[in-house]
Amino acid sequence: MRRICKTFVIIPTLFAISVAFLWASASPKVIAQTRSTFGPLAFLQGLFQAPWGGFDTGIFGSGFGPTSFALGDLDGDGDVDILVGDSFFGSPGISVLKNNGGQTFAAPVYYSLPLNQVVGEVALSDFDSDGDLDAFATIRGDFDQMLKIMVWRNNGNGTFSAPIEFATGQGPVGIVIADFTGDSKADVVTANYGGSSISILRHNGLTRNSAGFLAPVNSSTANHAEKIATADVNGDGILDVVVGGQVGTGFDSTLAVMINTGNGNFAAPVAYDAAPDARFDSTAVALADLDNDGDVDLIGGGLYSSGSTDNGAVTIRRNSGNGTFGSAEIIMFANFVPMPKELTTGRINNDGFVDIVAAVPSGRVPEGFVTITSNGASTQNGAVLRFKKNKTKNCIANQPLQDQGSIEQVSAGSDQNPLCSRRRGRR
């Protein structure tokens, strides 16, 4: 095992449950990116210096406790709106915050669910091929007993019709929506914590009111599937999945690589230790080509201990070129920085290499995340990024909210249900 020990500065205030960069795979309704006029160093130095703007996502009993979100143009006005997943047991459901067009958001519109229908994660996709983004949510339940997703059809103006349900395996949490069968229709794959499985819901190929999904096909992951990422892992032009989940009743987790053999049929999982020899393993998982060699690498994390000192860490396994992965490179965080709860990737400094952001909640404030910028080799360079914020954060994303050449960061949190955004500078 190759161990790389570097120290990184934590950005305070981020209790992240779901993290996403939407730079490389934006919806057709998400505004196109433009290139930065800054160099990489200037861009990094300017990150997170602008003030935050806060926006409520709900109140107690009406959209309380946001734990996931997705970004997209829901009303066709060219601005990016926000779909929030509300998971608090007293008021689960989804909330929609429409972009006012001036770096502000309208009051949330809440779509409630029964008390026990706790939302796992949310996503956006044009389910019925009418040109609008529809809302998806996994419904894990308050004890991971549910077996379904819900889909809210977009009425064309960013409001949603009553949800329709489709069956999954037990306790779905993570969700990815993509074409896994090669028919140019978006299928759904869920990571099912309660069932230790994934479910693929193949699109029926129909449109408008006839659109739907076929009965789910479940495949064992050999772990308590929670997080899921998708990419073409073995270079055959078909999307595969990797599922992060706890193993047994201890603190170990695996990243289960499941190769799509065609038409959404997944091979038996090949398990990789999320964090070899760690005290605790994270279920977080991400896939990205960190070294620009044409194949995606596998990213996980965990918590390492040495005496009385704990260090969160990111683990990187390089792709061998055929969908198998090598030994873990371990990148240590600073002392007492927690392990990643979520992982995401994106080109945050415009140097041509994909970088990593790890959300590192501790249950205390201040919270934060760690940025790990890649130089394309087997080591990563730490970026010193800071902001001051004392509200617990549940999710974060980077996305232009208007077509003005700037990148905004969006985060959502459970304390007083704030949703925050700020401009980070022109790209």
The mean-pLDDT minimum among 63-67, 218-222, 342-346, 393-397 falls in 393-397
Quick check: 45 pLDDT over 90?
A: no
CA 84, distance to chain mean position in Å, is 13
- Counted residue by residue, the chain has a size of 427
Cβ pair 72, 133 in contact under 8 A:
yes
The per-residue pLDDT for 59 is: 75
R_g (Cα) of the chain, nearest Å: 20
What would the two tokens of residue 55 be?
């926006």
What Cα–Cα distance (Å) separates residue 185 from each residue in 153, 166, 167, 205, 235?
16, 16, 18, 6, 21
Query: What is the tens place of the pLDDT at every residue in 206-231?
Result: 999 999 999 999 999 999 999 999 99
Q: What confidence score (pLDDT) does residue 55 get?
A: 77
Q: Would you call the peptide bond into 366 cis, given omega within 30 degrees of 0 as the criterion?
A: yes
Average pLDDT over residues 313-338: 94
What is the value of pTM for the model shown? 0.83
Q: Which residues of 104-113 are buried (b: 16+ CB within 10 A; e: fewer)?
A: ebeebebbbb
**Which has more pLDDT, 370 or 284?**
284
Average pLDDT over all residues of the chain: 80
Question: For residues 422 and 52, is the Cβ–Cβ distance under 8 A?
Answer: yes
* pLDDT computed for residue 364 by the predictor: 65
Q: What is residue 49's predicted lDDT score, i.e. its pLDDT?
A: 46
Q: What is the pLDDT of residue 241?
A: 98
Per-position DSSP letters for 100-168, written without gaps between them: -SSS-BPPPEEEE--TT--EEEEEEE-TTSSSSPEEEEEE--TTS---EEEEE-B-SSS-BPPPEEEE-
Q: What pLDDT shows up at residue 420?
A: 56
- Residue with the larger pLDDT of the pair 320 and 384: 320
Q: Tell me, what's the pLDDT at 377?
A: 65
Q: How confident is the model at residue 411 (pLDDT cuts 50, 70, 90)?
A: low
pLDDT of residue 337: 87
Q: Is 37's pLDDT higher than 50? A: no
- The tally of CA atoms less than 13 A away on the side-chain side of residue 110 is 21
Confidence class for position 421, pLDDT limits 50, 70, 90? low
Band of residue 366 on the pLDDT scale cut at 50, 70, 90: low
Q: Using CA atoms, how far apart are residues 44 and 373, in angstroms rounded to an integer?
A: 10
Average pLDDT over residues 259-285: 97
Half-sphere exposure of 27 (CA within 13 A, CB side): 25
pLDDT over threshold 70, residue 369? yes
